[in-house]
Amino acid sequence: MARIGVFVCHCGSNIAGVVDINRTVEAARKMPQVVYAADAKYTCSEAGQSAIRDAIKQHRLNRVVVSACSPRMHENTFRRTVASAGLNPYLMEIANIREHCSWVHGDNKEAATSKAIDLIGMAVAKVTRDEPLTPKRVSMTPRALVIGGGITGIQAALDIANAGHEVVLVEREPSIGGRMSQLDKTFPTLDCSACILTPKMVDLAQHPKITLLTSAEVKSVNGFVGNFEVEIRQKSRLVDHVKCTGCGTCWQKCPENVNSEFDMGMGKRKSIYIPFAQAVPNKPVIDTASCRYIKYLKWAETKEGKKPPECRICEKICPTGAIDWEQPEQILTEKFGAIVVATGFKTFDHSVLGEYGGGRIPDVISGLQLERLMSASGPTGGEVKRPSDGAHPKTVVIVSCVGSRDDRIGRPYCSKICCMYNAKHAIMLKEHDPEIQIYIFYIDVRTGGKDFEEFYRRSQQEAGALWIRGRVSKIHREGKKLIVRGEDSLIGRPVEIPADLVVLATGVEASDGVVGLAQTLNISHDSYNFLVEAHPKLRPVETHTDGVFVAGAAVGPRDIPESVAHGGAAAAKAIGLLSKEELATDPMTAIVDPVKCVSCFACHEVCPFGAPEKETLRDGRTVSVINESKCKGCGLCIVACRPGAINLRGFTSQQVLAEVTSLWR
């Protein structure tokens, strides 16, 4: 026999101002199996909670209904309250008479009161049928996977490893470093990017707790928080990194020259290469798309067309015999408790903008290309020379918001970093050549970070950059000059500037392949393919999949300080998780009645979390079972199951029916 206690909260005047509390308590007292009913000014206060505890003891209550605010607010609070009085915490129900009643029916107190009574009646009907539930405990694999080795991923990996947990970092390029490794100097302090990044890259490579997998990608993810099982594809590099000492003989001698991705096509690399001098690991890979011997091998299969040279120079000269033409692709399977996704961004491809030359004008370059031209380790050794003829530009025009704030191309957002890197480029160009004249077209200058406005002013004061308020409409060639047309919208006249070099501040876009990765990880992305946080303000690095965290420019445009902070935040969340020995899972999960299950497996189709699994019974039938650790209790399978074989613990069909029937009694 149930002995139910009902506690009606005033919530100050939030509820009591609308609902007649006395009448409500009276009505509750008359409900079936209710042995005690009382009210309190603030049930959630310490006094309110101890009143519940006392009543449980005094009236030997074995079920409790708290009639107050939304369960989202205080379900956990009151579960703890009843637990501390010795009740199973799942024998408590909340009737939400604030959000669902007093807040929305302030204009009709009479009706609000009877609705409150109905809501309590429903909760009483439900609590009568509650069963005690116990959370399951699952063990924790105290290791983290970090995906993406830009500054965000590097920071996250180092923080987690320094807290004592093992980390595997998966980077799909041959080196870690991300976009930051391509930058020359960094705003707003102008410190050299490589000088602050390289030590971190080396720390990471040498960290005893960190395993670095480059040229690698995540193939599949199974399992759940605390126990993810991840397949990682280690692409074939054709170079044995155990034998290779990184001496560099091969890439000096390789005869095949290819456009360097790292230098944004402004310089060349070899077919066997490290992307840049400070690469980590400092060991080469062979690019199979351009390698002569690989081309030869492909030719040998069909013998069609011209025979490519059989090269193999790298193999002949490698002092340690590290070249391995047979090296297979490998699939590694690893277990992790937490995953941090830091896959960063790419820059907007301006070839879609015909009015800016559609990528056909060699001296119209992107900001990232300019970084490579200014970098001492770049293709020109740090000399700013224009690509078409190698001349030193004397007039440089910078164009803001290229691929940003443009609905036409589905990029309405502000990329946030470009205004500042424009100011940086102005200052650095002037450092390279004091005679350079710099013009920056802008729509708004966004300098919302620490020391940013001062930095913007420096570009005017030190570099003499002329900022012109207007979006450029067209860039056209006239002989060797590039004519840039905009409006100076402050004076209201069209302006034309004959330039030697035009730098487009191309915006921030989500990395390639991130949609597939998000699907693999079961996390969401927005319409621009940036990854979505669980809450944009209060849970900025969590996702809706427990144990998976997101950070850095993969979530949206971010500069380096923000990315580092974000990577650190994700690491802190992961560390918090990994430092638990066990995890309690929510017991309100689905359960299949194997007798009723007809093996249609509709539940497998609908479950977003992959919780339904198959089990073969002794009678030979294969039926569905729910993996409690994965089930989030969303209830989709219950609706999908035609024979009604599935029930949700704590929300059984019988309970829901009892709630509904309580209404017409």
Ligand X SMILES: Cc1cc2nc3c(=O)[nH]c(=O)nc-3n(C[C@H](O)[C@H](O)[C@H](O)COP(=O)(O)OP(=O)(O)OC[C@H]3O[C@@H](n4cnc5c(N)ncnc54)[C@H](O)[C@@H]3O)c2cc1C
Q: Which stretch, 186-194, 202-210, 306-314, 597-605, contacts ligand SF4 (CB under 6 A)?
A: 306-314
Nearer to ligand SF4, 20 or 488 (CB): 488
Distances (CA, A) of 405 to 442, 443, 506, 627: 11, 10, 11, 46
Q: Which does 170 bind (CB under 5 to 8 A by kind): ligand X, ligand SF4, other proteins, none?
A: ligand X
Query: In this structure, are residues 321 and 312 in contact, taking their beta carbons and an 8 Å threshold?
Result: no
- What are the strands of the beta sheet with 437-442, ordered from one edge? 364-366, 501-506, 395-402, 437-442, 466-469
Query: In this structure, are residues 484 and 399 in contact, taking their beta carbons and an 8 Å threshold?
Result: yes
- Residues 481-490: contacts with CB under 8 Å, at least 24 apart: 482/361, 482/363, 482/364, 482/397, 484/397, 484/399, 484/439, 484/441, 486/441
Q: Which does 426 bind (CB under 5 to 8 A by kind): other proteins, ligand X, ligand SF4, none?
A: none
Nearer to other proteins, 290 or 404 (CB): 404
Does 487 engage in binding with other proteins (CB under 8 A)? Answer: yes
Q: Which of 57, 307, 457, 474 binds other proteins (CB under 8 A)?
A: 474
Residue labelled with tokens 């009639």? 67
Q: Which stretch, 4-12, 468-476, 547-555, 639-647, contacts other proteins (CB under 8 A)?
A: 468-476
Query: In this structure, are residues 501 and 365 in contact, taking their beta carbons and an 8 Å threshold?
Result: yes
Does 486 engage in binding with other proteins (CB under 8 A)? Answer: yes
Does 414 engage in binding with ligand SF4 (CB under 6 A)? Answer: yes
Name the token pair of 437.
Answer: 């004249």
Nearer to ligand X, 343 or 629 (CB): 343
Q: How many CB atoms lie within 10 A of CB 52?
A: 24
Q: At what angle do helices 418-432 and 452-461 cross, to 10 degrees?
A: 40
Nearer to ligand X, 436 or 560 (CB): 560
- The residues near 137 (Cβ < 8 Å, ≥ 6 apart) are 582, 583, 584, 585
Q: Which of 74, 424, 430, 446 binds ligand X (CB under 6 A)?
A: 424
Q: Which of 199, 321, 354, 464 binds other proteins (CB under 8 A)?
A: 354
Q: Which does 311 bind (CB under 5 to 8 A by kind): ligand X, ligand SF4, other proteins, none?
A: ligand SF4
Q: Which of 209, 485, 544, 604 binds other proteins (CB under 8 A)?
A: 485
Q: Which stretch, 53-61, 308-316, 491-499, 559-567, contacts other proteins (CB under 8 A)?
A: 491-499
Distances (CA, A) of 19 to 9, 10, 117, 663: 10, 9, 9, 18
Does 527 engage in binding with other proteins (CB under 8 A)? Answer: no
Nearer to ligand SF4, 422 or 585 (CB): 422
Number of shown-chain residues binding ligand SF4 (CB under 6 A): 26
Does 472 engage in binding with ligand SF4 (CB under 6 A)? Answer: no
Name the token pair of 379.
Answer: 């293709």
Q: In Å, how far from its chain's centre is CA 568?
A: 14
DSSP 387-413: TTT-PPPSEEEEEEEETSSBGGGTB-S
Q: Which does 406 bind (CB under 5 to 8 A by kind): other proteins, ligand SF4, ligand X, none?
A: other proteins
Question: SS3 breakdown of the chain: % helix, strand, coil, rounded to 5?
Answer: 30, 25, 45
Q: Which does 474 bind (CB under 5 to 8 A by kind): ligand SF4, other proteins, ligand X, none?
A: other proteins
Beta-strand runs (E) in 364-464: 364-366, 395-402, 437-442
Nearer to ligand X, 130 or 562 (CB): 562
> Pairing state of beta strands 210-213 and 257-259?
unpaired
Chain residues binding ligand X by CB under 6 A are: 147-153, 170-173, 178-180, 183, 186-187, 217, 342-345, 347, 367-368, 371, 417, 421, 424, 511, 513, 517, 552-554, 558-561, 563
Chain residues binding ligand SF4 by CB under 6 A are: 254, 256, 270-272, 286, 291-293, 311-314, 400-401, 404-405, 414-416, 418-419, 444, 446, 505, 507
